[in-house]
Amino acid sequence: MIIKDKEFEIYLSKEEIAERISSLANEIENNLDGIKPTFISILNGSYIFTADLLRALDIECEVSFVKLASYKGTSSTGNVISIIGLEQSIHNKDVFIIEDIIDTGVTLANFIPDIQQRNPKSITIISLLSKPEARKVPIEANYVGFEIPNKFVVGYGLDYDGLGRNLSDLYILKEG
């Protein structure tokens, strides 16, 4: 399938994604032990994953959405992240961050201290996808849907230059 100017091939079908999310939800539920999570979904990429995961969870919970704006060249990591949209207090709450994909890890490595400053009781990271080979900073999720190779993916919420977020399946860049 062509998206804009690049060729992609199917990598994970919507059925495979749904099956994995259902088992992730079970795993999360079984580990909750009475905790009522406050989910923080990182937009834009996580919107579909968030909707599907939260509907697969049969629990009482809160959910907020944030957007991260990054500015280049102002810190040692090259990125400063500012959180847009977190009006809700997370003081003493069990925060579960929902990400679409962990690539270099820089985004989360910058975001987590900002969350920590707001004194939550705990922080848990959930990511649909992870590219372990791409990591530049040591950060790992507590729950990962799929580990994938270090290649660009699109669909199921993730975009290529603004396109493809609405695709039900996940596609990977075709080489050559």
Stretch that binds Mg ion, among 23-31, 33-41, 97-105, 111-119 (CB under 5 A): 97-105
State the nearest-atom distance from the C-beta of 46 to Mg ion, in Å: 6
Name which of Mg ion, ligand 5GP, none residue 159 binds, using a CB cut-off of 5 to 8 Å depending on partner kind.
Answer: ligand 5GP
> Please, what is the minimum distance in Å from the beta carbon of residue 158 to ligand 5GP?
4
Residues from 21 through 60 that contact ligand 5GP (CB under 6 A): 45
Instruction: Decide if residue 64 touches ligand 5GP (CB under 6 A).
Output: no
* Contact between 45 and Mg ion per CB under 5 A: yes
CA distance 49 to 98: 8
Structure tokens at 10: 């199917």
Binders of ligand 5GP among residues 155 to 174 (CB under 6 A) are: 158-160
Structure tokens at 132: 């372990």
Q: Closest Cα to residue 102, out of 46, 162, 29? A: 46
Q: Burial letters for 142-176: b for 16+ Cβ neighbours within 10 Å, e otherwise?
A: ebbbbebeeeebbbbbbbbeeebbebebbbbeeee
| Residue 169 annotated as catalytic | no
Q: Is 103 in the site for ligand 5GP (CB under 6 A)?
A: yes
Instruction: Dig out the tokens for 129 from the structure.
Output: 């996808």
Q: CB under 5 to 8 A by kind: which of Mg ion, ligand 5GP, none does 126 bind?
A: none
Q: Which stretch binds ligand 5GP (CB under 6 A): 2-10, 20-28, 96-104, 115-123?
A: 96-104
Tokens, residue 30: 């079984």
CA separation for the pair 126, 101 (Å, rounded): 9
Question: What are the phi and psi torsion angles at 105 (to 5°)?
Answer: 95, -10
The binding site for ligand 5GP (CB under 6 A) comprises: 45, 99-107, 152-154, 158-160
Catalytic site positions: 103
